[in-house]
Amino acid sequence: MSDSLKREAAARAVALVEPGMRLGLGTGSTARHFVALLGERVRQGLDVVGVPTSEATRRQAEDEGIRLTTLEETPQLDLTVDGADEFDDRLRLVKGGGGALLREKIVAASSTRMVVIADSSKRVERLGRFPLPVEVVRFGLASTRTAVADVASRFGAQGSVTLRHAEEEPFVTDEGHFILDIAFGVIAEPEAMAAALVAIPGVVEHGLFIGLCQTAFLATPDGILTLT
């Protein structure tokens, strides 16, 4: 998707922001536009506070002059705006392509409303086209990986379970964990599989966001489509 379309979707989400709101600030190239546009409004006098979902977003928000808070100080948020790697028409999402899924999910779950901003290429009939990220603790990685692969094959995974790398080294999340990416094809039963994954000791969180998102602003070359 072109950057200008991403920015249009982000602009639609920024229009929802009202003075005094407590915001969750997403991670990724689309959420980055939201934070930039929010920064413009803040510099024009809008008073809001934000909880960033990653260290990258924290740095950007600080540069933009957006007042930041934490979930310790502000446990309930009004609105979270974030990107997604894919989503279906029931607004079930796969997230974590940028590796921030754990903080993203905690922030989304602490919000009254979650809005996703994305382009139409992220919309799928059935989830599973994008490899599902699973955040795991480092201890016992080989055992956890085997257990994750067992669950994945029970739920129809067609491909491998890969340890994510960044520049030759295992990718480490902001919370100090590793990420396993499951190549699915199609996730037949997302809810049941989500429950099976979190039951594995060593799994911290997975990238399926179910029942968390109420609205998606979808950028298309013909304009913004709103899904609810």
Minimum distance of ligand 5RP from residue 156's CB (angstroms): 22
CB-CB contact of 14 with 66 (8 Å): no
The answer to whether 122 is a known ligand-binding residue is: yes
Minimum distance of ligand 5RP from residue 194's CB (angstroms): 16
The answer to whether 80 is a known ligand-binding residue is: no
Report the relative pairing of strands 161-163 and 93-94 from DSSP bridges: unpaired
CA atoms within 13 A on the CB side of 125: 1
The answer to whether 162 is a known ligand-binding residue is: no
The answer to whether 83 is a known ligand-binding residue is: yes
Catalytic residue among 8, 86, 104, 205: 104
Minimum distance of ligand 5RP from residue 100's CB (angstroms): 4
Minimum distance of ligand 5RP from residue 207's CB (angstroms): 7
For ligand 5RP, the closer CB: 52 or 83? 83
For ligand 5RP, the closer CB: 43 or 165? 165
CA distance 16 to 113: 11
Active-site residue, 104 included: yes
The answer to whether 29 is a known ligand-binding residue is: yes
For ligand 5RP, the closer CB: 161 or 179? 179
**Quick one: tokens of 190?**
């997302």
The residue ranges that bind ligand 5RP (CB under 6 A) are 26-31, 82-85, 95-101, 104
Report CA-CA distances (Å) from 15 to 27, 72, 106, 213.
19, 27, 24, 18
Ordered DSSP codes for 38-105: HHHHHHTT---EEEESSHHHHHHHHHHT--B--TTT---EEEEEE--SEE-TT--EE--TTS-HHHHH
For ligand 5RP, the closer CB: 97 or 128? 97
The annotation places the binding site for substrate at 27-30, 82-85, 95-98, 122
The annotation places the binding site at 27-30, 82-85, 95-98, 122
Please give the positions annotated as active site.
104
